[in-house]
Chains A and B, each alone.
Chain A
Amino acid sequence: MAGEKYILHTEHLERHFQVGIEVVKALKGVTFSVEPGEFLTIMGSSGSGKTTLLNILGCLDKPTGGTYLLDGVEISGLSRNDLARLRNHKIGFVFQSYNLLPRTTALENVELPLLYNAEISTHERKERAIKALEAVKLGDRLDHTPNQLSGGQQQRVAIARALVNEPVMILADEATGNLDSRTSYEIMALFQELNQVDKKTIVFVTHEPDIAAFSSRTVFLRDGKVLKDTFNNDIKSAREALDNLPPADDY
């Protein structure tokens, strides 16, 4: 099958919305594929259809036309419950606004995806959550609640949550949008490390060009179509960018 060597494979993806009597075509035939280990950024201005694409890639929405294969699975025929299972097993979401449960410890937040996986025991759940938090260097913040953590730390908890179910792909939606540039670089450095060291496949939706510079490939969307699909030969290191920032002012 065409999509077998890809983590993600879309062909002529279309998504139409019925708004009153008018049909809005948000996606008008998007075709691209992502191989394992890629760090792909999807860029586009607002209205370009990147949110719609993200929803479909995240199995939160189904395309009106075309095919979408996630890890070899065609999603268009799946039920709501099957999609939920797919999200649980194959995708790790990272959101712009972190979306951590308030008044719930970092550990419990990270455990959350595993709660919905009946095959994982309580003991294993905790073990894996601790491991994921250690991977994002928050091993010493297990019992902190979101309001006891900085924005960057909260986003790292969210990344740990995305990692804990060992997904085939991490799907990040403007994951640095709420952070200052220093913290953004820290988060990007973490993503790069996950990509380069742990060989995680990352799909990162953003509208900031300097974020795209840290990825290995960028898909530009405009008006519901792929405008450009470019490989990045000069991947910038977020770690270096972080080091080059002027030292933080101490007030």
Chain B
Amino acid sequence: MSIFNLLRIALKALQRNKLRAFLTMLGIIIGVAAVIAMVAIGQGSKQSIQDQLSSMGSNMITIRPSSNISPGGGARLDASSLQTLTLDDVKAIQKQATYISSISPAVSSKGQAINGAFNWPTTIQGVTPGYLEIRDWKTKQGVVFSDEDGTSAAKVCLIGQTVYENLFSPGDDPIGKIIRFNRIPFKIIGLLAEKGENAFGQDQDDIIIAPFATVQKRLLAITYIQNIYAAALNENVTEQATAEISSILRKTHKLKDTDDDDFMVRTQAELINTFSSTSQLLTVLLTAIAAISLLVGGIGIMNIMYVSVTERTKEIGLRMSIGARGIDILLQFLTEAILISITGGILGVLLGISTAKLITIFLKWPTLVSESSIILSFAVCTITGVFFGYYPALKASRLDPIEALRYE
């Protein structure tokens, strides 16, 4: 019998028992909808974490000093007090590296920022203009300091949104104003665009950015640098960039092959991987729930198909007596089961998508309906239909036509 006829017969049979068919589907519908909605929530939060990480600059590479003296002798020091990185390193990387688009040295200091009657404890970061490129950070108002400001150690700065809110009355124009940071006056030349919290909940806007030399020489009076920030050409070459930086720094630091690095090179990709593995675990758990709910739905289908076969024994007998072969009967019932599960799957996908949308609208949770979860639930539905529909259908196909015809 053709697929078209099989579908027609199956549809007719389901139409005769609409409510029962629907209730049977309900198991599949709820299962699929739950999976789609949960995966959407999982994917949504994963996406938002990734967006946050990207807001820190997804191709950003951080180079920190590190102690290469093995533990066991003396007190180990905080990384910021280690003095292994210098401006020469920055220059060497700038000159030799091929996977790097921009680079900036960085020093920072904590202190009190004062503007007239307002004061606010914050951090000042001394960097070159390249830093804002690396962080993909724009100014909301004003301009970024120039390279000349850097060489002349000009007392100019850009302030973050949080610093602005705490040092100025709402509506005040901060550009051109002088604020003091640890008694040194800085002229505000720009207001940074809002960045919000990073993945760890730190307020990225609570910052003052000034030329590197200004902070290093005027504020801290040091000759080394604390961090180097660099940006890889794109996210895909961060690993190559990392390796390249390591080998350049080992050369400039004149490390022997047996020596450990006296610096650390870190990328955002590593962080993203950490979060990804967490959300992968979540996905595994959701898949398990999906499997269980579809199993329950499948048992529902099997149950109803058995009832249906028993109920329609006489019909089966008649069909056999007028020439239906076992395979015709088998396919007929199998088609019904698959139709139930696929229809349930479609309704489940629709319900799941709308649930995800409602969650976003009412609970403001980020959700992302992934195509793969739809395809997967669909495939599982079909398999469920075939698997759980097969045994009842087989039972039907093996009925003795004589007994089936006489069945009351």
Binding site for B on A (CB under 8 A): 55, 58, 60-61, 80-81, 84-85, 87-89, 93, 95, 99, 101-104, 112-113, 115-118, 161, 165
Contacts and interface: CB of A to CB of B under 8 A. Distances in A.
Nearest to B406: A51
Contact of B325 (A85, A99, A101): A85
A103 B323 CA distance: 21
Interface stretch (B197-205, B274-282, B312-320): B312-320
B1 interface: yes
Contacts of B218: none
Interface string B315-357: 1011111111111100000000000000000000000000000
B1 A99 contact: no
B12 interface: yes
Nearest to B404: A60
B322 A87 contact: yes
B16 interface: yes
Q: Lowest 6 CB-CB distances: which A-B pairs, in order?
A: A88-B323, A113-B322, A116-B323, A84-B325, A99-B318, A81-B325
B321 A60 contact: yes
Contacts of A113: 322-323
Given A85-B323, A99-B318, A115 B1 contact: yes
23 contacts: A55-B402, A60-B321, A60-B401, A60-B405, A80-B326, A81-B325, A84-B324, A85-B323, A85-B325, A87-B320, A87-B321, A87-B322, A88-B322, A89-B323, A93-B321, A99-B317, A99-B318, A104-B12, A113-B322, A115-B9, A116-B323, A117-B323, A118-B1
A61 B320 CA distance: 12
Nearest to B328: A116
B152 interface: no
Given A81-B327, A118-B1, 13 more contacts: A55-B402, A60-B402, A60-B405, A84-B323, A87-B323, A88-B324, A99-B317, A99-B318, A101-B318, A104-B12, A113-B323, A116-B319, A116-B323
B5 interface: yes
A173 to B, nearest CB: 9
A84 B320 contact: yes
Nearest to A97: B314
A169 to B, nearest CB: 14
B65 to A, nearest CB: 81
Interface in B1-26: 1-2, 5, 9, 12, 16
A153 B328 CA distance: 29
A99 B5 CA distance: 21
A86 to B, nearest CB: 8
Contact of A99 (B326, B327, B405): B405
B322 A103 contact: no
B405 A95 contact: yes
Interface in B137-151: none
B322 A161 contact: yes
Contact of A81 (B317, B318, B326, B402): B326
A112 B16 contact: no
A85, A112, A161: residue with the most chain B Cβ atoms closer than 10 Å: A112
B198 to A, nearest CB: 65
A95 B402 CA distance: 12
Nearest to A55: B402
A224 B323 CA distance: 27
B319 A112 contact: yes
A58 B402 CA distance: 10
B324 A116 contact: yes
Contacts of A101: 315, 318
Interface in B42-85: none
Contacts of B12: 104
A81 B1 CA distance: 14
B380 to A, nearest CB: 32
Nearest to B312: A101
Contacts of A60: 320-321, 401-402, 405
A161 B327 CA distance: 22
Given A55-B402, A104-B12, A112 B1 contact: no
Nearest to B314: A99
Contacts of B318: 95, 99, 101
B321, B322, B325, B405: residue with the most chain A Cβ atoms closer than 10 Å: B322
A103 to B, nearest CB: 5
B321 A112 contact: no
B402 A116 contact: no
A131 to B, nearest CB: 17
Contacts of B324: 84, 88, 116
Contacts of A112: 319, 322
B328 A103 contact: no
Nearest to A84: B325
Contacts of A55: 402
Nearest to B5: A115
Interface string B98-134: 0000000000000000000000000000000000000
A205 B317 CA distance: 19
A58 B2 CA distance: 26
Nearest to A95: B405
B99 to A, nearest CB: 66
Given A99-B405, A118-B1, A58 B323 contact: no
B16 A116 contact: no
Contact of A116 (B314, B317, B325): B325
Contact of A61 (B2, B16, B323, B402): B402
Contacts of B327: 81
Contact of B322 (A61, A93, A102): A93
